[in-house]
Amino acid sequence: MAQHTDITTRVEKALEGLRPYLEADGGDIRLVEVTSDLHVKVELHGACADCQMIHMTMKGGVEQAIRAAAPEVVKVEAINWSNA
């Protein structure tokens, strides 16, 4: 359980680092959960929720920052955005 708490803390810190950039474009992001199988679920807010460039933001920004902070994370997904 301590490892899970540590991962959650590192993910939160990574999101805090991204937040100013998202807020500058009228958006935001919130950590929903880190599951027991190390899937990170986030929720996008504001302009980020329906931005045309969110795929690039998720892959090149959010996922990259989370994986740098917590390499053991298996998957990063936005619960209110379909990457299909």
Is residue 57's pLDDT more than 70? yes
Is 28 among the domain residues?
A: yes
Output the CA–CA distances (angstroms, integers) from residue 47 to 23, 30, 50, 51, 70, in the order listed: 9, 14, 6, 6, 26
pLDDT level of residue 84 (50, 70, 90 thresholds) = very low
User: Does pLDDT of 81 surpass 80?
Assistant: no
- How many structural domains does the chain have? 1
Q: What is the pLDDT of residue 33?
A: 96
Residue 47 DSSP one-character state: G
pLDDT tens digit sequence for 11-35: 999 999 999 999 998 999 999 999 9
Q: Is 57 domain-assigned?
A: yes
Please, which pLDDT band fits residue 48 given cuts at 50, 70 and 90? Answer: confident
- For tokens 């009228």, the residue is 26
Range of the domain at 18: 2-78
